[in-house]
Amino acid sequence: MKRLFGAAALAATLSAPMAMATETVVWWDFLGGGDGVRMKKLIEDFNAANAGKIEIQATTLDWGVPFYTKVQTSAAVGEGPDIMTYHASRIPLAVSQGTLTEITADDMGKMGLSADSFAAETWDAVNVDGKQYAVPFDTHPIVLYYNKDKLAEAGLIGADGLPAGLDGLDNFTAALQKLKDAGNENSIVQVTADGNFAFRTIYSFLCQQNGSIGSDGDWIPGDNAQKLSNAVKVISDWVANGYTPSYTDYPATVALFTSGASPFMINGVWEVPTMADLHAKGELFEWGAIELPVLFDRPCTYADSHAFAIPNNVGKEASPEKHAAVLEVIKYMSDNSLFWATAGHVPANKAVTETADYKAMQPQATYAKLTANQVFDPKSVHAGVASALFDAAGNAFTAAMNGETDPDSAVAEMKAALDALQ
């Protein structure tokens, strides 16, 4: 009897459902401030929704070069995370270093995503040589913030409640002069102490002239030098005419706008939470944000994308279960990126931006149309945030914006620095 009982017990044990172990997903990001707060909430929500199945174990590292260096060195010895945030603009360099794993069409199908899920430029930014290396999570461009009360006083608000009469360089200059004549300390604030940051605006105005930076071995080709000089001159003229202050750093720029000293500010969408929080506390005027005005030939605005990438952990291939869990994480984040939009970013997944909830979100829904008119960094190992391209721009354009040198000389300096890159 004991033997029969033992056999029956063994059979019952083998036929009973086995408890599944929780699959852990090691996550690295570089998100601080309002971005970090919101991402932590998304991670907490994912873990709660997938309790007992998948758990994200998240670590936030320093933004910029420290993050990307750690990813590269860690993946090279099989010690990278299972998933990480990545700037689309940095993908060409990562691919050249063998740091990223390709994301296949089958992977995308399992997440219910495809090229059609994203704006054309956003999708192109995560592809190199016909292969996809990340899934876009957002687009984060620069925008024009405005003080609605000051613009209304100057007659620069249209019937739709949005700024009017700003397109065309002459019209925009006239608007700035009108605001100056009305007694505003500064008509517009733009970071002028750091040409690296200001390059976002300059690059936008270059693209508005149908110009381009070029790429490795062919930097600033043809008439692009003149177009780039024209773009730099826009800001140097603002400084010379007293529309924007010289050598103004990032914090001072935000302070000048939020204090009401300037009716306009050019900055990233990531400052939307700052404005929203101040306004909610009754400490800010009526404000908004729109796509950059068309000062030249066509609408175009600089943008980058936070994306999700999978490192190529050398010697440590992910199990099918691990890979499936990573795809579940990416799908969840994409499907729930409406919350991410409260940080100012435009969700990359068009299914989210087409919802009624997103269209009711202001000012995000107003400037979201710029995803049809955006320009990303050139595909180069020297491009992207915290890159040699941005450093070359910063070194050349800071002096030019502030009248210490002329735009043509600054462009020549930038080109020489880029041509020297190996």
Is residue 379, in this structure, part of any structural domain at all?
Answer: no
Is residue 380, in this structure, part of any structural domain at all?
Answer: no
**119 in the same domain as 70:** yes
Side chain identity, residue 268: G
Sign of torsion, CA 387 393 166 243?
Answer: positive
Whole-angstrom CA distances from 207 to 216, 227, 380 are: 18, 9, 17
**278 in the same domain as 392:** yes
What kind and span of H or E run contains 275? helix 272-280
Nearby residues of 195 by Cβ (< 8 Å), 6 or more positions away: 202, 393, 394, 395, 396, 397, 398, 399, 400, 401
Is residue 97, in this structure, part of any structural domain at all?
Answer: yes
**122 in the same domain as 148:** no
What is the DSSP secondary-structure string of 15-34?
A: HSPPPPPPEEEEEEE---HH
**324 in the same domain as 207:** no
Contact between 194 and 249 (Cβ < 8 Å): yes
> What is the C-alpha separation between 326 and 135, in angstroms, rounded?
12
> What is the C-alpha separation between 82 and 322, in angstroms, rounded?
8
> What is the C-alpha separation between 350 and 300, in angstroms, rounded?
19
Is residue 223, in this structure, part of any structural domain at all?
Answer: yes
The predicted-structure confidence for 250-268, as pLDDT tens digits, reads as follows 999 999 999 999 999 999 9
Contact between 141 and 268 (Cβ < 8 Å): yes
Predicted pLDDT of residue 20: 67
**298 in the same domain as 348:** no
The predicted-structure confidence for 341-354, as pLDDT tens digits, reads as follows 999 999 999 999 99
User: Could you tell me the two tokens for 89?
Assistant: 């603009």
The predicted-structure confidence for 18-51, as pLDDT tens digits, reads as follows 456 899 999 999 999 999 999 999 999 999 999 9
> What is the C-alpha separation between 367 and 287, in angstroms, rounded?
13
**200 in the same domain as 145:** yes
- For the segment 146-173, the average pLDDT, to the nearest whole number, is 97
Nearby residues of 412 by Cβ (< 8 Å), 6 or more positions away: 225
Helix (H, G, I), strand (E, B) or coil at 4: helix
**339 in the same domain as 234:** no
> What is the C-alpha separation between 39 and 365, in angstroms, rounded?
21
Please name which of 268, 206, 255 lies closest in space to residue 234, comparing C-alpha atoms: 206
How many structural domains is the chain composed of? 2
Contact between 371 and 166 (Cβ < 8 Å): no
Sign of torsion, CA 223 228 234 240?
Answer: negative
Question: What is the pTM (predicted TM-score) of this model?
Answer: 0.93
Contact between 408 and 229 (Cβ < 8 Å): yes
Task: Kindly state the DSSP code that residue 397 receives in the 8-state scheme.
Answer: H
**112 in the same domain as 177:** no
**312 in the same domain as 261:** no
- The burial of 243, by beta-carbon neighbours within 10 Å (0-12 exposed, 13-18 middle, 19 or more buried), is given as buried
Predicted pLDDT of residue 219: 97
CB-CB neighbours of 34 under 10 Å: 18
- For the segment 212-230, the average pLDDT, to the nearest whole number, is 96
**343 in the same domain as 246:** no
Whole-angstrom CA distances from 24 to 27, 81, 389 are: 9, 11, 37
Is residue 7, in this structure, part of any structural domain at all?
Answer: no
**207 in the same domain as 167:** yes
Predicted pLDDT of residue 422: 77
Is residue 34, in this structure, part of any structural domain at all?
Answer: yes
> What is the C-alpha separation between 410 and 107, in angstroms, rounded?
45
The predicted-structure confidence for 279-329, as pLDDT tens digits, reads as follows 999 999 999 999 999 999 999 999 999 999 999 999 999 999 999 999 999
Is residue 8, in this structure, part of any structural domain at all?
Answer: no
Beta bridge mates, 174:
none
> What is the C-alpha separation between 34 and 76, in angstroms, rounded?
31
Give the domain range for residue 186: 141-302+387-419
pLDDT at 9 over 90: no
The CATH number of whichever domain residue 30 belongs to comes to 3.40.190.10
Contact between 301 and 142 (Cβ < 8 Å): yes
- For the segment 321-339, the average pLDDT, to the nearest whole number, is 98
**124 in the same domain as 159:** no
Is residue 1, in this structure, part of any structural domain at all?
Answer: no
> What is the C-alpha separation between 268 and 143, in angstroms, rounded?
6
User: Could you tell me the two tokens for 267?
Assistant: 């900055």
> What is the C-alpha separation between 221 and 97, in angstroms, rounded?
27
> What is the C-alpha separation between 314 and 307, in angstroms, rounded?
21
Beta bridge mates, 132:
127
